[in-house]
Amino acid sequence: MEIPYTVDTRADTGLNNVKLGIWLFLASEVMLFGGLFSSYVLLRVGAEAGTWPQGAEILSIPLATFNTIVLIGSSVTMVMAWASLKLRDLFKYRLYMGTTVALALVFLIVKAFEYADKFSHHLYPSESTFLGIYFLITGLHGLHIVGGIIVNSYFLLPGVKMWHTAPERFTNRVEAAGLYWHFVDLVWIFLFPVLYLL
């Protein structure tokens, strides 16, 4: 059975189902990360005076700044990949989407170095409340990066064949993947100052 309204807009919403569906998913994601941000605030304001470390005392600001630049860069290449499809330029799409996946991998590699450095100094999630919430939130964010890499790699390699049979539908798929990817970037934009700088 054909999935309805993957390209055509519904008369009642004025949107195709792809767009509405991904935004509803992102709304649930806001609540997921919102719960953790709320927990962070609760734990921080409830901590005894002088017991909550400044992120910079434990974490590496240069590495996190580099990763922020990498992730913002990947957001730009993602939106450029979608724009390339709109311009009917498959070569540039492959170039930008490939760069997006590569930048996501760079982010994960840097994060792995950060984690390894913490573990080598015996700084585990069980060490303190700060480290517990740091590993929880950044770990969950990292899992979202992994999910994005899997989806974007699919659209870069096997999934791209849809372009030749249903280009508009494929473009909408890439737009939905892009909305998810920009959300992951947006979460990091808030995580960076909250965990590392304050």
Partner 1 sequence: MSMDSAEDIKKHVKVYLMVFAALMVLTVITVGVASLSLTIPLAIALALVIATVKGSLVASYFMHLVSEKSPIYWTLMLTAAFFAVLMFVPLLAMLDSIGR
CB closer to partner 1, 1 vs 103: 103
The reply to whether 25 sits near partner 1 by the rule CB under 8 A is no
CB closer to partner 1, 41 vs 116: 41
* R_g of the chain, CA atoms, integer Å: 19
Task: Lay out the site mask for partner 1 across 74-103 (x = CB under 8 A, - = otherwise).
Answer: -xx-xxx--x--xx----------------
In one-letter notation, the amino acid at residue 196 is: Y
Choose the stretch contacting partner 1; rule: CB under 8 A; options: 61-69, 122-130, 138-146, 148-156: 61-69
Rounded CA gap, 24 and 128, in Å?
35
**CA–CA distance from 121 to each of 29, 51, 96, 130, 180 (Å)?**
33, 19, 38, 15, 34
Rounded CA gap, 182 and 158, in Å?
23
CB closer to partner 1, 1 vs 27: 27
Smallest distance, Å, CB 6 to partner 1?
Answer: 16
Cα-based torsion angle of the residue sequence 74, 80, 85, 90 in order, rounded to the nearest 10 degrees: -70
Triad 129, 112, 43: Cα angle to 5°: 15
CB closer to partner 1, 96 vs 135: 96
DSSP state of 166: -
Among 31, 27, 76, which Cα is nearest to 178's? 76
CB closer to partner 1, 11 vs 119: 11
Choice from 5, 17, 60, 73 touching partner 1 (CB under 8 A): 73
Binding site for partner 1 (CB under 8 A): 13-15, 19-20, 23-24, 27, 30-31, 34-35, 37-38, 41-42, 45-46, 56, 61, 65, 68-69, 72-73, 75-76, 78-80, 83, 86-87, 178-179, 182-183, 185-186, 189-190, 192-194, 197-198
